[in-house]
Structure 1
Amino acid sequence: MKIKRSYILILIVVLVLVLAVRYFTSPKVKSLQVKETKIENRVVNKTVSASGAIKSKSTVNLSFPSTQVISQITVKEGEKVTQGQILAYLESSIQYQSTQAVRDARDIVLRKRDLFVSDRETNEKTLGGSDQYEIRLRQYNEEVSQAEASYQAELARFQNYYITAPFTGTVVDITKEVGETAATGEAIIKMSNLEDLYFEINVDQEDYGSLKIGQSTEISLDAYGNRKFQGTVSELSLYAGDIGDFTVKIEFEESGEFLPSLGLTGDAKIVVDTTSQEVPSLYYDEVFYDEEDRPFVWVVRNGYLSKYPVEIGLEGDIYTEIKSSPEFPIVIGLNQDIELAEGYKAAIVPN
């Protein structure tokens, strides 16, 4: 009897184990909580975004073409200047004296010729006639031309000792002080035209292919928080930069309330495609794709989750255009960590 009891106990244990294995390994219908989402009419936009900064169409770093001590800086940062205005001098007393001497020599030759011309009648008699007079006048004119050429050459050398404004604008930076030595080609003064600013970004080759002149742009500047500014694409570079990106210039739209400042940074969002008007749409993450990249949405059909193929239009940044509407409730999971699958029971939770 004891042996039979042992066999019975062993049989019971084996039976329990078999039932447990079958329970945990047999397919079961799971139940998930989901929430319903609705197709709504909205404008769908696809954009290209990039960071950038405000720049001026006319910006230049000014330097001296020779090395010397700075004698005078006649402007301050933020000061408006006019084209041709002298902005800074180098120590140039020796060069000034040399230029002055050459100018005096030119003026002497000019006065001799003018006196000769003013007393033509007397000079013709003295020289023996008009032909001899014309020969001597040509000699004077040649001397004047040579003296003028010498003076212009000396003046050009003297001009190396000062900086002038190449256009009307504003001094935005001064890197040296009076008494310091300015090296040849070293930037001393930076000036820009602050009335002709634009926003510049760089985009990669993939995004560059969808850009066109005139596309609408929304600009967010770091200094202005959530405030948005409107602009349009005004220029696209014709070649890639050193790292393979392309430069894009964006003009600000006229606004009496906004005065852009040089150097402000921010982000630009260029609308590269749009539905223009409101169309049926879902949020981009409410549309899914199968292994063959065919779009579908999750629906609840007779209490169970099911994939429902849909036809889509423009895939925007936030919304995706839906061209076919299922007759069943469209749902999404309450928990993004749980992957939905066909055959699950679905409990729609009220929004």
Structure 2
Amino acid sequence: MRRAVRNYLWIIAVVALLAAYIGYQKWQGPELGGYVVIEAPLVQRVVAAGRVTNEARLQVSSELAGLVLERRVAEGDKVSKGDILLILRAEELKAQLDAAQAAVVQLEQQQRPQALAELERAQTVLAQATRERERREALLAAELTTTELVEQARQAEIQAETASVTAQLQVQAVSPTGTEAQRLQAQVQNLQAQLAKATIRAPAAGTLLTRNFETGDVVQPGTVLFTMALESAVEVRTPLDERNLPQLALGQPAQIIADAYPNQPFAATLSFISPAIDAQRGTVEVRLQITEPPQFLRQDMTVSVTIETARREQALVVPNEVIFTDSDGQQVVWRVNNDSVTQQPVELGLRGLTMSEIKSGLNSGDQVLAEAPDDVRNGQRIRFKSQPILSSSD
């Protein structure tokens, strides 16, 4: 009889434990996989299919608006790559560059020595204030001065220390690797690059066929200035979805892979963006110039094109699969916090093929769900299961 009672009690205990475990699991919520937000390099790319063509002509345009100051060539002239075709007036850019270069010289010859001198003076004042504070504290210990005078000495030391720190920060800012020096150097480099665009050069070797301007004309960015016949130029043409237009810019690097030779990729550069949209397909044609065409290329060969449109050396990134669009059109993720989930609006930056940049809404180390079941709701408890992010550079 006692054995039967004990067995019965054991069964009740097991059932109770099982019920408690099931209740605890239910209270914890379902186990859902997700990722931890990380900082990593990110590359934004546009991928499409294209065909190889031996394009015989090329249109030359300006990236700047300006007055044609000098024309160096005429129709029928043969030119080599890099030859000067025309020069635009760029006095304003030159003035800005001169001012930026003068600011660099001023920083090196005046601001930097002044900052060093100010730091030396501030450190001297701090040393004097420290000695005075120590002297008054010794007098106070000997009851030869007042507490008020000691406190004044301490405040003077604090002020001197603050001035010394400020002087150190100023020295760092104007140092060769400081923020101010880097800002001025970047400004100089940017203006030099802009000024270089005022000199229009031949993008390739060939013969000039047409000229669409006269000396003294004002040209606008994108206006065709010359049409030239190229010497066996090989390029790739590909239609891209017009939604990619904001990401595209001339000169962007690309990698091309021929379907027939998948293990032999080669480089190209985005050289042309059509000014017209194919209304029926919603696409824009782009052309990529191949710097060194491989021997296996053939006319109309099918290729895969990957254009690098932007890059971040370090960005806050999440896999694309965690990003959803709510009923208001807002980009959101399901963020896990204290074992419960909430829908978190986010602002996106670069969009890679597998990863996207988070500009606001999340921090490094946050947890987000990879997928959200249809019945998930704000505040619901879950058990988060972290999954590795397989690719961060995209």
TM category (shorter chain) comes to: 0.3 to 0.5
Which structure has the larger Rg over C-alpha atoms? 1
TM-score by length of 1: 0.45
- Larger relative helix fraction: 2
TM-score by length of 2: 0.40
